[in-house]
Amino acid sequence: MAAESTRAARPSSGGRALAVVCVVAVAAVGSVTRPFGWAATVLVLAISAIALVWALRSPNSVEPRDPSLRRGTAVWSALLLAIAGWEAYAFVRQPDWTKPSDQHPTLSTLLDPGLEQGPLRFAGWLVWLAVGCWLVTR
């Protein structure tokens, strides 16, 4: 009985293949957008909204209340809030929101020199999307 419920909770190989095709397609589209442009911003916001809805969908099973799980959640939440706070502060302090600033760099500004060329930009999008999918499905 337990093997059947575990098997039903896992996505099918067809579903995985479709997810991989979608990730590669979005990475290809994202890699041809202009860095810090409106198209890239809209694409990131759309992917983030989809991931948020996917992450907030109702869970299939109830997780046990484990103290170590709560501690881990608290630590990762604090880290995420600190990074998001730094990103928001750096973004708001920029003189022009459409151009990167050396005085108040965001993570995107710091990573841009390494990811501005075609193949590396595509690889960066793939990594970002793959990590996001992994985080949402865990």
Dihedral angle over CA of 89, 93, 97, 103, nearest 10: -110
The encoded tokens of residue 60 equal: 């299939």
Of 28, 23, 31, residue with least CA distance to 121:
31
Q: Please report the pLDDT score of residue 7 as a whole number.
A: 45
Of 17, 13, 38, 19, residue with least CA distance to 97:
38
Provide the 8-state DSSP code for 60: S
Provide the 8-state DSSP code for 12: P
pTM of the model: 0.65
Exposure of 138 in the CB half-sphere (CA atoms within 13 A) = 7
Dump pLDDT digits (tens) for 33-91. Answer: 887 788 888 998 999 898 888 878 756 555 657 777 778 878 888 998 999 898 888 88
Domain ranges in the chain are 11-56+70-137
Let me know: does 125 contact 29? Beta carbons within 8 Å: no
Longest dimension (CA), the chain: 60
